[in-house]
Amino acid sequence: RSWLRSALCLFPLPLFDMKVCVVGGAGGIGQPLCMLVAMDPRVTELCVYDLTISAVPAEGVAADISHINTRCKVTSCAVDKDAKAVDVAETALTNCNLVLVPAGMPRKPGQDRKDLLDINCKIAFNVVQACAKFCPDAVVALIVNPVNSVVPAMNELWLKAGLSEKKIVGVTSLDCVRAEKFVHEMTGTPVDAINIPVVGGHAGTTILPLFSQCPAAKNIPA
């Protein structure tokens, strides 16, 4: 849920009647993310976007989520794996305020994040190129590894289109969630009272949780 909260915090409040598209919405991360989006009172339209080869059809995910008793209208868009989003995603992306992208190949055991760079950059490029055309004012939140490399690369694409670099972001609040749970388990402090800022990036050698900034964590031995 913190991923969605982080993305929605990019918008000034109150902002209602938002359209959101979740690219990769039928996947393991995409499905619960779509549910949380549909439950947010600021969202009036959600598009579940995924490939036709997805193990769970995007249409089925959209049908299930559409039963949630909120005002959010839920649609789906399933595209061929070889299709270019810029050719097929106009309906899904037009008028979007926020595009969440939990897409790409996951990291396998023993695999380095840089091994994913080539394939996942191509996936992100496909999506970001279409966003630049159909929803240039949207915030595009990338949950695509390796985030440290994918986000700057997509930022360059956004800039070449003459758009604001502030609209391309990487979602890494998972690092904060993990650090806060660690402190909770070590100290017994209520989770709601713990706030651990994390700097440095989203990679094993650069992630730096600032435990010293949290009173509850100051007494944890190094």
**Catalytic site positions:** 202
The closest alpha carbon to 189, from 215, 211, 221, belongs to 215
Tokens of 57: 């059809």
Distances (CA, A) of 173 to 5, 156, 198: 9, 23, 8
Spatial separation of the C-alpha atoms in residues 39 and 7, rounded to whole Å: 15
Coil, strand, or helix at residue 77? strand
Spatial separation of the C-alpha atoms in residues 24 and 44, rounded to whole Å: 19
Side chain identity at 186, as an amino acid letter?
M
Tokens of 173: 């609040």
